[in-house]
Chain A
Amino acid sequence: MFGKNQPVVSSKNIETIIGPSVKVEGDFKGEGDLIIEGMLVGNLTTKNNLKIGQGAVVEATVKANNAFIAGRVKGNITIKGKLDITGSAVIVGDIKAAMLSIESGALIQGNVSMPSGEAAHEEARTSVKKDSRKNEIESSEELPLES
C-alpha cells in the first residue's frame, strides 16, 4: 500500500501522523489515513489506510481497511483489505486479513487467518481497488502540466 509497487498515501489524504517523538495511550479511532512512527498503546482503529513505520512500536489491537507494517506490533491485527508486512516487521499476535503479503525477514508469532469464500475475496479486492483508484486520481491531479 505504501511501498514502491503499492498505492501511496498522498499528502492530500494524510490526516493523522503520530511522529517518532510522541506516545499515544488509549482508544485511538481515526477516520482518515493514519501514519504511526512513534509509540501507541491501547486500541487502534481506522476506517482507512494505516502505515506503521519501521521505528514505530504499537501495543494494541489493530483494525484498519488496508495496512503496511514495518515496525513492531504486539496485539491482534484485523485488516479488511490488504496487509503488507515488510522484512523489518515484528508482530506478536494473531493476524486476520483478506489479502496478505509478507517479505522475507519478517517475524510473526501468532496465527494467520484469511476469510474463505468468493464473497470475502471480492470484498477485499473492492477495498484494495477503491484505495488504488483514489490514489491514481490524486496522482494524476498532481502531475505537472507540460508546456
Chain B
Amino acid sequence: MYLYIYDSFLSDKKYTDLLSQIEKRVTDLGIKGRIARLSILKNMKELITDGIKSGVQTVVVIGNVQTFAKVINIVAGLDVVLGLIPVENDNKIAKMLGVPPKVLACDILASRIIKKIDLGLINNHYFMGQAELNNASVLIEYDGYSVRPTTVNNNITIYNFADRSVAPNSSPVDGVLELVITPIKSGVFGKKNVVGTVLPFSKIKISTEGEDQVSILTDEQVIMKTPAEVSVAPQKLRVIVGPERCFE
C-alpha cells in the first residue's frame, strides 16, 4: 500500500495543476494510494507511523529538498520503502537518485528499482548527500589519528554520495563516507581550488580548537554546530531509484 505525503507548501494554488497531474499519472500506473497533506496540525512523523500501523509499505513524499531531509530522518531504519516526487527541477538529491522532477517521477516509482543506501549521521541527524564546513579551522579525529588543515581557508566536505564530477569515488552503497579537504588559494584570477585531501571513514569527530563553534551545513540546508560526531549508517534507507542514478 502507498502513502503519498504532500508538503504543506503545496497547498499554494500554483501547485494545484501539478498535483492533479501527478494524481492522474499514479492512478494510470496503478500505484494509487492514500493521500495525506502536511499542515500545522498534522506532522510527518505522526502520518508515517500511523500509515505503517495500517499496512503502508511505500511512503512517497512530494515536495522539495527540505521535505526529503525531514522524511529521511523519520523513515531511516523503518520497514518502509521511500519514494520521492520533486516539485522543483533542480533537486540535487532526486538527481543523484535518478528521479526526474514532477510527473515524470511517477514512472520511476512504478518501475520500483529499490536500493538500500547508506546515510550519513551528524550527531543525531541523518543526511543523504553531503555536509559542508566553510573556512573552518578544525581538528578531525579518526580512530587512532588526527587530521588538521594547515592552511587558513579550507572547504571541508563530507560526502555520502555526490555527482561523479564532484566526488568520483563516493557511493551510497560502499559503507563509508569520504572527507575532502580543499584549500582555497587566491590566484591572479581570483580564488582557485588546489589538490585536496581525500580520507574515507566510517566515524570521525570534528571539533574546533577554541570555544568558537563552526556551522555544518547539509545539502538539505540543515545547520548543525561543532563539536560533532559524524558516522556512516550503512544500508539505512530503502529508496526507489531511477536508471539515471549516480551510483551502481
Interface residues of A (CB under 8 A from B): 11, 14-29, 32, 37-39, 42
A-B contact pairs, 15 of them (CB 8 A): A11-B168, A15-B198, A17-B195, A17-B197, A19-B195, A19-B198, A21-B150, A22-B149, A23-B148, A24-B147, A25-B145, A25-B148, A27-B144, A29-B144, A37-B195
Q: Indicate whether B196 reaches chain A with its CB closer than 8 angstroms.
A: yes
A21 touches B146 (CB 8 A): no
Contact B196 A14 (CB under 8 A): no
- Asked, given contacts A11-B168, A23-B150, A38-B150, whether A18 binds B197 with beta carbons under 8 Å apart, the answer is yes
As a 0/1 sequence over residues 129 to 169 of chain B, the CB contacts with chain A under 8 angstroms (1 = contact) are 00000000000001011111111001000000000000011
Cβ of B200 and Cβ of A15 under 8 Å apart?
yes
B148, A16: Cβ atoms under 8 Å? Answer: no
Known contacts A11-B168, A14-B169, A38-B150; decide if A19 and B145 are in contact (CB<8 Å): no
Closest-CB distance, A59 to chain B (whole angstroms): 13
Shortest distance from the beta carbon of B203 to any chain A beta carbon, whole Å:
14
Q: Is B172 an interface residue (CB 8 A)?
A: no
Docked Cα-Cα span, A11 to B144, in Å, equals 26
Number of A-B contacts (CB under 8 A): 68
Which chain B residue shows the least CB distance to A18? B197
Chain A interface, >50% SS class? strand
Contact between A21 and B149, CB atoms less than 8 A apart: yes
Instruction: Determine how close the nearest CB of chain B comes to the CB of A27; give it in whole angstroms.
Output: 4
* Residues of chain B at interface, number, CB under 8 A: 22
Q: Which single member of B168, B183, B196 contacts A17 (CB below 8 Å)?
A: B196
Report the minimum CB–CB distance from A141 to chain B (whole Å).
14
Q: Which 4 A-B pairs have the closest CB atoms?
A: A26-B145, A19-B197, A21-B183, A27-B144
The answer for the CA separation of A25 and B148 in the assembled complex, in Å, is: 8
| 0/1 interface trace, chain B 196-209, chain A, CB 8 Å (1 if under) | 11111000000000
Q: How far is the CB of A53 from chain B (nearest CB, A)?
A: 9
B198 lies within 8 A of A14 (CB)? yes
Complex contacts, A20 vs chain B, CB 8 Å: 183, 194-195
Let me know if B181 is at the binding interface, CB within 8 A: yes
Q: Which of A15, A26, A28, A37 makes the CB contact (< 8 A) with B169? A: A15
Cα A18 to Cα B181 in complex, Å, equals 9
Contacts of A17 in B (CB 8 A): 195-199
A19-B197, A21-B196, A26-B144 known, 15 other contacts, Cβ within 8 Å: A14-B169, A14-B198, A16-B198, A17-B195, A18-B197, A19-B182, A19-B183, A19-B198, A21-B183, A22-B149, A26-B142, A26-B145, A27-B144, A29-B144, A37-B195
Q: List the A side residues contacting B142 at CB < 8 Å.
A: 26
Residue of B146, B182, B183, B200 near A24 (CB, 8 A) is: B146
CA distance A24 to B231 in the complex (A): 20
Instruction: Please give, as numbers and ranges, the residues of chain B lying within 8 Å of A15 by CB-CB distance.
Output: 169, 198, 200
Known: A17-B198, A38-B197. A23 touches B181 (CB 8 A): no
Contacts of B149 in A (CB 8 A): 21-23
Is the CB–CB distance between B197 and A22 below 8 Å? Answer: yes
CA distance A146 to B199 in the complex (A): 36
Q: Complex: how many Å from CA A25 to CA B150?
A: 12
Contacts A11-B168, A21-B181 given; indicate if A16 touches B147 (C-beta within 8 A). Answer: no
B206 to chain A, nearest CB (A): 14
* Interface 0/1 of B106-143, CB less than 8 Å to A: 00000000000000000000000000000000000010
CA distance A17 to B198 in the complex (A): 5
